[in-house]
Amino acid sequence: MSDRYLNRELSWLEFNRRVLAIAEEEETPLLERVKFLAIFSTNLDEFFQVRVAGLLEQVAAGVSTTPPDGMTPTEQMGAIRQVAGELMRRQAEITEEIVIPMLAKQGIRFVNYDELDGDDRTHLDDQFRDTVYPVLTPLAVDPAHPFPYISNLSLNLAVTIRDPDTAAVRFARVKIPPILSRFVVMPDGERIVPLEQVIAHHLGDLFPGMEILSHYTFRVTRNADLSIEEAEADDLLEAVAMELSRRRFGRAVRLEVGEDMPVDTVDLLRRELRLDDSDVYRIDGLLDLTGMWTIAGLDRPDLKWPVWPHHTPLPLVPVDGSAPNIFDVLRTTELLVQHPYDSFAGSVEELLRQAAADPDVLAIKQTVYRAGQDSGIVGTLISAANAGKQVVVLVELKARFEEEQNIEWARRLEEAGAHVVYGFVGLKTHAKVMLIVRREGESVRRYAHVGTGNYNGATAKLYEDVGLLTADEDLAADLSDLFNYLTGYSRQEKYRKLLVSPFSLRSQVIELIRREAAAHDGHIVIKVNSLVDAQVIDELYAASAAGTKVELLVRGICCLRAGVEGLSENIRVRSVVGRYLEHSRVFRFGSHARGHDYFIGSADLMPRNLDRRVEAMAPVEAPALRSRLEEALDVMRSSKAVGWDLQPDDTWQPTAGTVDVQQELQIRAAARSSEGSDLPRSLSASD
């Protein structure tokens, strides 16, 4: 175990612990607590499907090399199993002992099938017969029927049956159909019955003439990572589609079972799934709490956070029902937007909408990473292509768990006549950039958007991100060069203003860190999702040793050790986890006396972002926009802010703050929208 770096996987688990803490906090509204239980489960599912799956492959292959933290794959798996098991048990305790009783007090009661009276059972019997039974497929295991394939993340019943004629005892599996709601809401809208209990009560209908001896719930997680990044492929679209078909057959990596499942049944499942004892997690409560999204979505606004409006930036506010011409606005001023406080629809989507409808717009070029299922952005691009504009879209087919949706969008864009590029084998395109080319008089002018988040209207209401809308000529020229690299055979590696990986981003960030380390008043503030890269961490340690003040706002993984004597005395690390997912990446270098250099973009400080992805970071140069970023960073860095601070002993401790960072930023966005420059005083980081 290294004394310089924290383990990436364990740091991620600590992030998910902070997510779980929101479900435990008394101040969190009840249905929001339910939502964070579901988020925790969804996060953990992905962690096992990707990170744990990869480690298990290394263990099986006998890999002994270690990451910078010094832990072998076997050592990492041992620690992961311990921490993940502890977190899963804690989640079950919060659910069963705190949240479910509190829901009952609010008239939302989880009830067992056995507790229902005759009329209620008749209702469920009818529902089972009409909507559940037709989609069930019981699968028996005997000499003529091999052990069935258990699909990834499926909830199942392990059933033991006996033939009364032969006394033969057999095992059978019944899959809980994922197409149906995880919970059945009774007609009164208040009582909820888990679907697996309804099915379990009707097992006699599935195995007529047999004796049902027992039934227990279980759930399997499989390796769902794609290997396409390392593949040789002539057709990337075909290669990704092929890998998607293989994903469902990935190796099992986790088995979740109910606390009451007997050892012999666990052993049967474990053997057939080829898992070790240590891959089995016993849960004292409901399995698959991702299903709690159904409960979180109940129409009970009294049990949720108040709805916060999304404000249109003042220069774009409609006048007499008509939106201002956004190109006229951007010719005179740059705009910085911070979603979801600033409306994504009223800024980024409005820019694209006007571009698609404007007869003077000649071309639109854009990257698409996670557009979502119902994408207004892609729909507008299709409309622009149908209108005869040159539309170029880089659709990243390898965006994890969005591959299938992105293949569909790519095909629809191509059908509309757009030029679609699929990215590179071995190199993901993660940059969030848009370029619009418009004829103005005898010349053309280019307009640009560079952001930190995906072009996704749904997640823009849930994720905190920032974006720059500009007509800056140098920046727009850089984007032209970047798109030429993405779509053609350009070898361009140098840019005027953009920091671009895998070319210059790493070296330029390190150069900026070293510049601050050499200054007598060096100061670095960085906000990212993850800080993993060992070289960057070493440079930050060196800056700290030189007396540079380093403040890091890291939402998730942080492999740097903070405040350690002789290593990082001048480094402070804070994590903010709230109702919105903190997703923006903001870099600030410099002091108040010398001035600040600001950059925003798509890159976290991880080897994959710096070396194996196409990322773009743009400078923010206008004084007013820098002040906007300064204000947001000040709120997050303030001693009054609610968050978590990384301690020298590597634990995360809640701050003593009382100010909800996101609520404070919402208040300031509302003030900007209605009052222009008449803003509340900015919280100082030293308040």
pLDDT at 520: 94
**Is the pLDDT confidence value at 428 over 90?**
no
**Is the pLDDT confidence value at 352 over 80?**
yes
pLDDT at 89: 96
pLDDT at 421: 86
**Is the pLDDT confidence value at 503 over 60?**
yes
Task: Tell me how far the alpha carbon of residue 36 is from its chain's centroid.
Answer: 13
**Greater pLDDT, 234 or 57:** 57
pLDDT at 226: 59
User: Residue 240 carries which DSSP code?
Assistant: H
pLDDT at 680: 39
In 10 A of CB 674, how many CB atoms? 11
Give mean pLDDT, residues 606-621. 95
User: Residue 150 carries which DSSP code?
Assistant: -
pLDDT at 640: 94
Share of the chain above pLDDT 90, in %: 73
pLDDT at 63: 86
Of 463, 469, 465, the C-alpha closest to 452 is 465
Give mean pLDDT, residues 581-589. 97
Is the separation of the CB atoms in 606 and 529 below 8 Å? no
Which of 202, 215, 311, 430 is flagged as catalytic? 430
pLDDT band for position 99 (cuts 50, 70, 90):
very high
Give mean pLDDT, residues 157-180. 92
Tokens of 651: 């634990």
Give mean pLDDT, residues 330-343. 96
**Greater pLDDT, 414 or 146:** 414
Q: Using only C-alpha atoms, what is the Rg of the chain?
A: 27
SS3 of residue 347 by DSSP: coil
Share of the chain above pLDDT 70, in %: 93
**Is the pLDDT confidence value at 400 over 60?**
yes
Told to judge if 430 belongs to the known catalytic residues of this protein, a careful annotator would answer yes
Tokens of 607: 């080897």
pLDDT band for position 203 (cuts 50, 70, 90):
very high
SS3 of residue 158 by DSSP: strand
Give mean pLDDT, residues 178-200. 89
pLDDT (tens digit, 9 = 90+) per residue, 293-303? 989 999 999 99
Task: For residue 502, say if its preceding peptide bond is cis, omega within 30 degrees of 0.
Answer: yes
Is the separation of the CB atoms in 279 and 253 below 8 Å? yes
Give mean pLDDT, residues 422-428. 76
Of 586, 526, 517, the C-alpha closest to 552 is 526
pLDDT band for position 270 (cuts 50, 70, 90):
very high
Question: Can you tell me which residue has the tokens 């990322």?
Answer: 615
**Is the pLDDT confidence value at 423 over 80?**
no
**Is the pLDDT confidence value at 137 over 90?**
no
Give mean pLDDT, residues 494-519. 96
pLDDT at 234: 45
d(CA 13, CA 231) in angstroms, rounded, equals: 30
Give mean pLDDT, residues 392-406. 74
pLDDT at 490: 67
Strand partners, 617: 499, 601
pLDDT band for position 679 (cuts 50, 70, 90):
very low
Q: How far is CA 112 from CA 69, 116, 123, 129, in A?
A: 47, 7, 14, 19
Q: What angle do CA 379, 385, 387 make, to 5 degrees?
A: 105
pLDDT at 677: 38
pLDDT band for position 469 (cuts 50, 70, 90):
very high
Instruction: Please report, in angstroms and rounded to a whole number, the separation of the first and last CA atoms in the chain.
Output: 37
pLDDT at 585: 97
**Is the pLDDT confidence value at 237 over 70?**
no
In 10 A of CB 332, how many CB atoms? 8
pLDDT at 119: 87
SS3 of residue 89 by DSSP: helix
Is the separation of the CB atoms in 376 and 403 below 8 Å? no
3-state secondary structure string, 610-663?
Answer: HHCEEEEEEEECCHHHHHHHHHHHHHHHCCCECCEEECCCCCEEECCCCECHHH
Give mean pLDDT, residues 494-506. 94
pLDDT (tens digit, 9 = 90+) per residue, 36-58? 999 999 999 999 999 999 999 89
pLDDT at 243: 52
pLDDT band for position 582 (cuts 50, 70, 90):
very high
Give mean pLDDT, residues 84-112. 95
Give mean pLDDT, residues 564-577. 97
pLDDT band for position 637 (cuts 50, 70, 90):
very high
Give mean pLDDT, residues 518-542. 97
pLDDT at 235: 52
Of 236, 237, 282, the C-alpha closest to 261 is 282
Give mean pLDDT, residues 321-325. 89
Question: Can you tell me which residue has the tokens 């409006």?
Answer: 309
Task: For residue 68, say if its preceding peptide bond is cis, omega within 30 degrees of 0.
Answer: no
Give mean pLDDT, residues 540-563. 98
AA identity, residue 584 = S
Give mean pLDDT, residues 48-70. 90
pLDDT at 395: 83
pLDDT at 302: 96
Tokens of 394: 């880089």
